[in-house]
Chain A
Amino acid sequence: EKEELIEEWQPEPLVPPVPSDHPALNYNIVSGPPSHNIVVNGKKCVNFASFNFLGLLDNPRVKAAALASLRKYGVGTCGPRGFYGTFDVHLDLEDRLAKFMQTEEAIIYSYGFATIASAIPAYSKRGDIVFVDRAACFAIQKGLQASRSDIQLFNHNDVADLERLLKEQEIEDQKNPRKARVTRRFIVVEGLYMNTGTICPLPELVKLKYKYKARIFLEESLSFGVLGEHGRGVTEHFGISIDDIDLISANMENSLASIGGFCCGRSFVIDHQRLSGQGYCFSASLPPLLAAAAIEALNIMEENPAIFSLLKEKCKRIHKALQGISGLKVVGEPLSPAVHLQLQESSGSREGDVKLLQEIVNHCVDSGIALTQARYLEKEERCLPPPSIRVVVTVEQTDEELERAARTIQEAAQAVLL
């Protein structure tokens, strides 16, 4: 009889069929380098879609450094950090990053996504409590899921909401003081949110940290190399001492134009990840040519702090230029180099919105401005942001190109929405 059951059982197909007109299947193919002038699907455009904030993707010095490293070390590292995968380039890069951010120590991961997704579960385990912003990016969500901790969401950038949650937790603690003594608390925020383009209110968060005894983990993927006078991120922007933040994590794929990520902070905190960060211990180390490129990019950043104010100016300019477009509203602060354009009135369904925005994007690409929609996995996100077009500002874009972009988007919006 068991044999019959085995015969009859039919599992679901391994993968459900996907409609062939899904946008991710008809993707944009970029021929050639994804730099300032980009060739998308055969059309030459100005690049407003890649996160190349400081324009270092095709900087000749960076490429020369990577080439030198290629000559000496080859390409791969063939091993994790623990087993002869640590090169002197990695140690150099960690030193330089720690010095640049003015912390004690830094640790490098070989992939940006894995950085924060391995850092959070290394400290926060089952039974700990994490307060996280609703608009946190997907990598943070995966890190939290892997950590199996208790997650409390607070409204985006709403310090009052966070304080309310912390107060509730305090009341819980008083009921059970023994458990409270071993439950760790963390607040996880991003410096510059990727999903909304806003900056987190760090000074108030630091005050809450000391009042309610929670540790702060700051994710600075977009704000590293953008905010602050020397590009050190949101702590420099607000003038907060870096020792107040327990862990800063960033990826090197945006401003540093390389691949990988790093965490920096005090040795007390960072050293723990060397044995318990999953993406660090169980994965091959960063290829040395990417590490050498990152070091050279850091050199350029240190020698030339004027680019940060230049970038800020361009961001403000495009923010102003995009304000008047009918049918689209700008979401994001004037200081953020990655802003979103959302529909002012939704067409009712998400697919409809996505289609409209895609038409606008196609129109822009035809006119020589490369844009893209901000993509999410609809079913996996905890709090799905509304569909939007992502506009990225880089230092290399000239003022005329900025004006042209704004005009093109305006024309496209008028053509499609009216």
Chain B
Amino acid sequence: MANPGGGAVWNGDLHNHRKQSGSLQKLTFYFLLFFQQNGKPHFYHKPIVESFEEAPLHVMVFTYLGYGLGTLFGYFRDFLRNSGIEKCNAAVEREEQKDFVPLYQNFENFYTRNLYMRIRDNWNRPICSAPAALFDVMERVSDDYNWTFRFTGRIIKDVINMGSYNFLGLAASYDESMKTVKDVLEEYGLGVASTRHEMGILDKHKELENLVAKFLNVEAAMVFGMGFATNSMNIPALVGKGCLILSDELNHASLVLGARLSGATIRIFKHNNMQSLEKLLRDAVVYGQPRIRRAWKKILILVEGIYSMEGSIVNLPQIVALKKKYKAYLYIDEAHSIGSVGPTGRGVVEFFGLDPQDVDVFMGTFTKSFGASGGYIAGKKDLVDYLRVHSHSAAYATSMSPPIAEQIIRSMKFIMGLDGTTQGLQRVRQLAKNTRYFRQRLNEMGFIIYGNEESPVVPLLLYMPAKVAAFARHLLNRKIGVVVVGFPATPLAEARARFCVSAAHTREMLDTVLENLDEMGDLLQLKYSRHKKSARPELYDETSFELDD
């Protein structure tokens, strides 16, 4: 078994504060870890480069100015609407119910009414083809400044898709390899109409669960119909009152909801910050529960494999070391990282070369890399048996639909190579290549990119709300579909565009996108990065000059 506590060698100091006042901070993590895996020593010696560069000061000033101006205008327009000078386009309460307590507080909707409405056309864009590397977007226009939309009936064809989570390119319209899905649909139908505990377990589900367990190299697995619900319904089954949950600052809404529903105490540690986590662990073990001073029943650490808004990869080796030292349990949500990182696509555990036995609960979704929907939890057999009995989803929610289960089986076999070809492995490698190329070119051009070098989720910082809208609209005109995110999914001043690189993107597609991004960057003045990298790697950053790297 791995024994990192005794033999780990940390190289370099770990400065991982993101918000430092003053000038930019480039953060780099360098690891030299020595892990014992099945008796064989295994060096993970590739340097991990994660960067969260801070923007120059003038950008932040203008961003806040932009929001301030929007807010002022918002107040002005609200005043006009309330006093009847301007017509109100929003839906209103029924006449009979006007004396009820208002359903929404005025202030709750202030942001929605005044800021979000202006740029609302960049989200919820309907498409009418499969979300492959090229897709068709339906054209829609607004006659009254985004209050209502109308479809012109035209379709913008062959838009390059940089927004859907299609990491391995498995989401495509029907082709012959999907024949098994068609057969299962014709034989089994679509719905299941029963819960797992009652009459809802089909033989397809058993087949899928065995395959997932084999894929992840664990003892057993259990599948659920929805990824979000997997988290929110199983975390309460694992921990309860008297337990402690340590969750990362930037965890997904499903993890937060599951943690809240469980009734356990929640403490938050700074994003990917191991000192913060260690301090919390020490305090928890030494001092126990806050008022009664008794020991905690269990401690559960909730992290994600790849964080979708930052593009950072969790610092798994250190977390495993901490978990072993303080005897906590680790729950890792691999929604984005399963199938997309690691030499054969098995997720972050394989990426770092760790033993799957070290992580207690593996959770992931099938939506992103496998082109289907649903979630799974995997781990030791005791854990999965316990969840079969006690999970909320097993007792009250319907199980997965059979053709979707078949699609997951098909794509998992494809990735594992069980269908006889090496195409799955090739796609994983293509994804890694595309990721590196894309990130490298963007860095060279001078944009600020967050996240780990190897993560296929690439956030490009835009900061100002007006640029967010302009960026998305211009790129759609040039037939590139991107996803932009602003408040409240990200901090107020850090609006970003998020690209998802896919194995289905060819080099030409990526080059087209990069050219257009270059032009957009010049047009909108987005190239904030203060250190442009040259095409050649800096020699003084190398940790070792050995030839057998």
Q: Are B201 and A76 in contact (CB under 8 A)?
A: no
Decide if A340 is an interface residue (CB 8 Å cutoff): no
Contacts of B181 in A (CB 8 A): 70, 75
10 A-B pairs with C-beta separation under 8 A: A11-B296, A70-B178, A70-B182, A75-B371, A76-B404, A81-B124, A84-B131, A111-B229, A253-B192, A282-B253
Q: Are A24 and B394 in contact (CB under 8 A)?
A: yes
Decide if A119 is an interface residue (CB 8 Å cutoff): no
Q: A51 contacts which of B161, B193, B254 (Cβ < 8 Å)?
A: B193
Decide if B135 is an interface residue (CB 8 Å cutoff): yes
Contacts of B225 in A (CB 8 A): 111, 259
B22 to chain A, nearest CB (A): 35
Q: Mark A81-97, 1 if CB is under 8 A from B, else 0.
A: 11111111011000000
Contacts of A380 in B (CB 8 A): 236, 392
Decide if B63 is an interface residue (CB 8 Å cutoff): no
A308-316, A318-326, A368-376 - interface stretch: A368-376
Decide if A267 is an interface residue (CB 8 Å cutoff): yes
Q: Are A76 and B229 in contact (CB under 8 A)?
A: no
Contacts of A289 in B (CB 8 A): 185, 190, 403
Q: A113 contacts which of B96, B203, B229, B260 (Cβ < 8 Å)?
A: B229
Q: Are A76 and B257 in contact (CB under 8 A)?
A: no
Decide if A283 is an interface residue (CB 8 Å cutoff): yes
B542 to chain A, nearest CB (A): 38
Which residue in chain B gives the minimum CB-CB distance to A269? B103
A134-142, A157-165, A341-349, A410-418 - interface stretch: A134-142
Size range of the chain B interface in the assembly: 35 or more
Q: Are A77 and B131 in contact (CB under 8 A)?
A: yes
Nearest 8 CB-CB pairings of A with B? A111-B226, A283-B228, A113-B397, A375-B197, A15-B386, A268-B91, A74-B130, A78-B164
A57-65, A232-240, A352-360, A398-406 - interface stretch: A57-65
Q: Are A67 and B282 in contact (CB under 8 A)?
A: no
Given contacts A9-B327, A84-B131, A377-B390, contact A253 B191 (CB under 8 A): yes
Q: Are A138 and B395 in contact (CB under 8 A)?
A: yes
Given contacts A111-B225, A181-B101, contact A76 B481 (CB under 8 A): no
Q: Mark A181-214, 1 if CB is under 8 A from B, else 0.
A: 1111100000000000000000000000010011
Contacts of B227 in A (CB 8 A): 283-284
Q: Are B191 and A259 in contact (CB under 8 A)?
A: yes
From 104 to 122 in chain B, residues with beta carbon under 8 angstroms from any chain A beta carbon are: 104-105, 112, 116
**B interface with A by C-beta (< 8 Å):** 91-94, 96-97, 99-105, 112, 116, 123-132, 135, 137-138, 161, 163-166, 171-174, 178, 181-182, 185-203, 206, 225-229, 232-233, 236, 238, 252-254, 257, 260-261, 282, 285-286, 295-299, 325-329, 360-361, 365-368, 370-373, 382-383, 385-390, 392-398, 401-404, 407, 481, 483
Contacts of A87 in B (CB 8 A): 126-128
Given contacts A70-B182, A146-B261, A213-B99, contact A78 B371 (CB under 8 A): yes
Q: Are B199 and A91 in contact (CB under 8 A)?
A: no
Q: Are A114 and B226 in contact (CB under 8 A)?
A: yes
Q: Are B190 and A62 in contact (CB under 8 A)?
A: yes
Decide if A25 is an interface residue (CB 8 Å cutoff): yes
B221 to chain A, nearest CB (A): 15
Decide if A278 is an interface residue (CB 8 Å cutoff): yes
Size range of the chain A interface in the assembly: 35 or more
B228 to chain A, nearest CB (A): 4
Decide if A50 is an interface residue (CB 8 Å cutoff): yes
Q: Are B103 and A184 in contact (CB under 8 A)?
A: yes
Which residue in chain B gives the minimum CB-CB distance to A375? B197
B363 to chain A, nearest CB (A): 14
Q: Are A283 and B226 in contact (CB under 8 A)?
A: yes
Measured in the bound complex, the distance between the Cα atoms of B401 and A289 in whole Å is 11
Which residue in chain A gives the minimum CB-CB distance to B226? A111
Q: Are B298 and A75 in contact (CB under 8 A)?
A: no
Q: Are A34 and B185 in contact (CB under 8 A)?
A: no
Contacts of A83 in B (CB 8 A): 123, 163-164, 483
Q: Are A287 and B372 in contact (CB under 8 A)?
A: yes
Q: B125 contacts which of A72, A86, A139, A271 (Cβ < 8 Å)?
A: A86
Q: Are A75 and B407 in contact (CB under 8 A)?
A: yes
Contacts of B202 in A (CB 8 A): 29-32, 34
Q: B238 contacts which of A15, A23, A272 (Cβ < 8 Å)?
A: A15
Q: A14 contacts which of B171, B193, B298, B481 (Cβ < 8 Å)?
A: B298
Which residue in chain A gives the minimum CB-CB distance to B135? A84
Given contacts A40-B199, A374-B198, 8 further A-B contacts (CB under 8 A): A27-B201, A32-B203, A66-B403, A71-B174, A78-B165, A78-B367, A279-B226, A289-B403
Q: Are B199 and A34 in contact (CB under 8 A)?
A: yes
Measured in the bound complex, the distance between the Cα atoms of B128 and A15 in whole Å is 45
Q: Are A14 and B327 in contact (CB under 8 A)?
A: no
Q: A111 contacts which of B165, B372, B397, B483 (Cβ < 8 Å)?
A: B397
A209 to chain B, nearest CB (A): 9
Q: Are A184 and B101 in contact (CB under 8 A)?
A: yes
Q: Are A257 and B189 in contact (CB under 8 A)?
A: yes
Q: Are A2 and B185 in contact (CB under 8 A)?
A: no
Given contacts A35-B189, A73-B129, A257-B190, contact A78 B203 (CB under 8 A): no
